[in-house]
Amino acid sequence: MNVLITGAAGYLGSLLVRRLSGALKNGEAIRVIATDIQERPRSSFDDDVDYVQLDIRSERVHEVMANYQIDTVVHLASIVTPGKKSNRELEYSVDVLGTENILKGCINSGVKRLIISSSGAAYGYHPDNPEWIKEDEVLRGNEEFAYSHHKRLVEQLLAEYRQAHPELEQVIFRIGTILGETVNNQITALFEKKALIGISGSDSPFVFVWDEDVASCLEKAVTGEVTGIFNVAGDGKLTIDDLAHILHKPVIRIPASIVKGALYILKRLSLTQYGEEQVNFLRYRPVLDNTKLKTVFGFTPTYTSKEVFEFYLTHNKKMKQNLNQYRIDEKSLISRQH
């Protein structure tokens, strides 16, 4: 059995490659073909893993799938956190056109199963989101927020292919906020501030999932038989006040109009890469119901959202340093006041 993984040198990809290396499906050894746009992967892979430098937008995708006689594709490659030199056209070409190229390659090469990492962001950030979002909810990824919109467009493509090519099995994971020992992104940066920024009138709810649980779901999708669409998140949610309580940090609530205005100006002065769309990103976060993941896919997350966050605080080196420094600064302030 030959499994091709896109984005294999990335965070989730590296976790999955290690799990599948030497694994079996139905008593048959799994051969892993790890692909990424990087010339050399940042993480080292076992000797039994084939590494192929590959741009998912290129025609070479079809050649690689055919040459390796791929049975299953795990498509993880996408632009999650754009760099300062990134632009919407580039992100669309990778996220949407790249995925379309993967789909065409799967059909042309007779791939049996496609496993893809989508996101809770595909539901969109809207004031009328249900308190708990299930998989049958309409996808409304916000056009002003590239990542959210692209996940929505990708899922529309996947739906079209399910109709036109039912022979290609699909497993789609709509993943919540991932935390783990080495996670470092725009969301974790929010927790590193001396105070948490909240939007007036909003609880800013978060659902978290342990990175190893996400890797376990991907592994189970490769080695198992179940297909479908599944929200991937730990049980429960944490509001901005819950997070502040755990972090022992204050919450500063600011009216949405003021935050929008500030971000509008800062982005156009090139002082931040984030624009006014980030306000809704904080204010109307989709809260994922994981019932189907547990009852249909057959996977129960190891940790609840709260336990994932506490694990992150305990094991993430950067966050531990941040909290230690915050406590030192807090003690120094109290000392000066007395």
Q: What is the pLDDT tens value at each position of the chain, 338 positions in all?
A: 999 999 999 989 999 999 998 787 878 889 999 999 988 665 567 778 999 999 999 999 999 999 999 999 999 999 877 776 778 899 999 999 999 999 999 999 999 999 999 999 999 999 999 999 999 999 999 998 899 999 999 999 999 999 999 999 999 999 999 999 888 877 888 888 889 988 998 999 999 999 999 999 999 999 999 999 999 999 999 999 999 999 999 999 989 888 878 877 876 776 666 677 778 888 899 999 999 999 999 999 999 999 999 999 998 877 767 676 655 454 444 444 44
Is 164 among the domain residues?
A: yes
Is 214 among the domain residues?
A: yes
At residue 277, the pLDDT reads 73
Distances (CA, A) of 48 to 21, 34, 44, 204, 325: 7, 11, 12, 44, 43
- Backbone dihedral region for residue 22 (phi beyond 0: left; psi -120 to 50: alpha; all else: beta): left
Q: Please give the Cα distance from 82 to 135 (Å, whole number).
A: 27
Distances (CA, A) of 267 to 189, 261, 272, 276: 18, 10, 5, 8
Token readout for 32 is 């892993």
At residue 167, the pLDDT reads 97
Report the 3 state secondary structure along the chain: CEEEEECCCCHHHHHHHHHHCCCEECCEECEEEEEECCCCCCCCCCCCCEEEECCCCCCHHHHHHHHCCCCEEEECCCCCCCCCCCCHHHHHHHHHHHHHHHHHHHHHHCCCEEEEEEEHHHHCCCCCCCCCECCCCCCCCCCCCHHHHHHHHHHHHHHHHHHHCCCCEEEEEEECEEECCCCCCHHHHHHCCCCEEEECCCCCCECEEEHHHHHHHHHHHHHCCCCEEEEECCCCCECHHHHHHHHCCCEEEECHHHHHHHHHHHHHCCCCCCCCCHHHHHHCCCCECCHHHHHHHCCCCCCCHHHHHHHHHHHCHHHHHHHHHHHHHHHHHHHHHC
The amino acid at residue 75 is H
Is 252 among the domain residues?
A: no
Is 328 among the domain residues?
A: no
CATH of the domain at 77: 3.40.50.720
pTM surpassing 0.85?
A: yes
249 in Cβ contact with 195 (< 8 Å): yes
Query: What residue has token string 């990708």?
Result: 154
At residue 322, the pLDDT reads 67
Q: Please give the Cα distance from 234 to 256 (Å, whole number).
A: 29
Token readout for 174 is 């709509």
Is 103 among the domain residues?
A: yes
Q: Please give the Cα distance from 33 to 27 (Å, whole number).
A: 19
Q: How many domains does the chain have?
A: 1
Is 242 among the domain residues?
A: no
- Give the other-Cβ count within 10 Å of 226's Cβ: 13
Query: What residue has token string 């039912």?
Result: 166
The pair phi, psi for residue 75, each rounded to 5°, is -100, 105
Residue 280 makes CB contacts below 8 A (sequence gap 6+) with: 125, 126, 142, 145
Q: Please give the Cα distance from 305 to 22 (Å, whole number).
A: 31
At residue 271, the pLDDT reads 64
Is 190 among the domain residues?
A: no
Give the domain extent around 161. 2-179+208-234+287-302
